[in-house]
Amino acid sequence: MDSSSTQFGLAYLDADEIGAYLETHAGHVLGVIGFGRSMQMPALSCAPLWVDIPVLGGRDNSFEVWTSDSPTVRCVRDGICGAADEKVMFASLTLQQHAGESLEKLASQAYTRIFEYIDHFEYRHLLRVWHYFPQINDDENGLERYRGFNVGRHGAFVANGRSIGEEDVPAASALGSNSGSLTIYFMAGKLPGKAVENPRQVSAYQYPDQFGPKSPIFVRALSVRLGGQDCFFISGTASIVGFETLHQGDSEKQTAETLLNIRTLLQQGPHYDPAQGRMLLKVYVRHEHDLAMVQSRVQAEFGKACQAVYLHSNICRSDLLLEIEGAYFNDAR
């Protein structure tokens, strides 16, 4: 494949594939994120981003690579490095949490910087955001860290005059890492995407306050046309119906419920066709011993053509045993 045939989209790659892939797609790369054990990376236009979450299934690491069908340009400002084509930008930031500083404050600072960055380059619409930070379920100043994170994110949306509703809220994931600080990467568009909610679930930004003083801000999925394809970004999806966790302590039932939620979301999306397109999943399991069961159910649901990466990670509610995020690309139209 030469770079002129690069598609817009995503690949999950092994360590022995990444070098050649980046060469083939030189000039078209939007972003590269490594999971698992860090290793020497080929030269990239931004420093390599590592997330300390172990990769399951016998691999040491895995690479998430976003590419564009068009040439990309580097965008650097205020410590945020990214790349953009004419429609979307992809960038990341890592914030250190210093002693005496709350995750809430860090989350608020991170989002304020993201808003400034995307506004400056005029890709004002957040489409997809990934968040990783350690001790996600631990207490910090009397509040679970994930809930503190939500307070900070919410505060930044309000302080920056961003509306909280279907308009301009991104699809997202928030997972625990083993070390590091707050790591966020994101995709933003010149034009907004179309939010897709799950009729089986209350919108996350309308969660009642039993899940924290401020609700999370993400939509369940987002559909956007990029690179001549319909792209469907599925947020981290778990065994939640309404706003409650179902099947506490039962990973098999949680897996079935999660897959039903994803199936439901795909049915809301405008252009899902199981016989066409490409499906990629990141599957986060809290307990390694659930891997084989989850793998077989995911394969039964999506078939072998679906590319899935399995990661060992804490989920943002302590009673959730797994969470699955996805991206589906269809160029049939």
* 29 versus 322: smaller Cβ distance to ligand 3EB: 322
* 235 versus 255: smaller Cβ distance to ligand 3EB: 235
CB of 87 to ligand 3EB, least distance (A): 23
* 62 versus 150: smaller Cβ distance to ligand 3EB: 150
CB of 135 to ligand 3EB, least distance (A): 15
Angle 306-175-129 (CA atoms, 0-180°, nearest 5)? 75
The burial class, CB within 10 Å (0-12 / 13-18 / 19+), for 53 is: buried
* 229 versus 235: smaller Cβ distance to ligand 3EB: 235
* 52 versus 197: smaller Cβ distance to ligand 3EB: 197
* 81 versus 222: smaller Cβ distance to ligand 3EB: 222
**Binding of ligand 3EB by 216 (CB under 6 A):** yes
Enumerate residues 24-83 that contact ligand 3EB by CB under 6 A. Answer: none
CB of 30 to ligand 3EB, least distance (A): 21
Q: Which stretch binds ligand 3EB (CB under 6 A): 14-22, 166-174, 252-260, 268-276?
A: 166-174
* 25 versus 317: smaller Cβ distance to ligand 3EB: 317
Dmax over Cα atoms in the chain, in whole Å? 54
Answer for the pair 161, 112: CB distance below 8 angstroms, yes or no.
Answer: no
Rounded Cα gap, residues 277 and 332, in angstroms: 7
Q: Which stretch binds ligand 3EB (CB under 6 A): 28-36, 55-63, 66-74, 172-180?
A: 172-180
CB of 217 to ligand 3EB, least distance (A): 7
* 113 versus 128: smaller Cβ distance to ligand 3EB: 128
Whose CB is nearest to ligand 3EB? Answer: 236
Binding residue for ligand 3EB (CB under 6 A) from 8, 50, 218, 233?
A: 218
**Binding of ligand 3EB by 322 (CB under 6 A):** no
Enumerate residues 231-290 that contact ligand 3EB by CB under 6 A. Answer: 235-236, 238, 240
Binding residue for ligand 3EB (CB under 6 A) from 46, 103, 126, 174?
A: 174
CB of 24 to ligand 3EB, least distance (A): 32
**Binding of ligand 3EB by 204 (CB under 6 A):** yes
Answer for the pair 109, 95: CB distance below 8 angstroms, yes or no.
Answer: yes
* 42 versus 213: smaller Cβ distance to ligand 3EB: 213
SS3 of the chain: the string is CCHHHCCCEEEEECHHHHHHHHHHCCCCEEEEEEEECCCCCCCCCCCCEEECCCECCCCCEEEEEEECCCCCEEEEECCEEEEECCCEEEEEEEECCCCCCCHHHHHHHHHHHHHHHHHHHCCCEEEEEEEEEECCCCEECCEEHHHHHHHHHHHHHHHCCCCCCCCCCCEEEEEEECCCCEEEEEEEECCCCEEECCCCECCHHHCCHHHCCCCCCCECEEEEEECCEEEEEEEEECCEEECEECCCCCHHHHHHHHHHHHHHHHHHCCCCCCCCCEEEEEEEECCHHHHHHHHHHHHHHHCCCCEEEEEECCECCCCCCEEEEEEEEECCC
**Binding of ligand 3EB by 7 (CB under 6 A):** no
Residue 116: CB atoms within 10 Å: 14
Enumerate residues 112-131 that contact ligand 3EB by CB under 6 A. Answer: 131
Site residues for ligand 3EB per CB under 6 A: 131, 172-174, 204, 216, 218, 235-236, 238, 240, 316
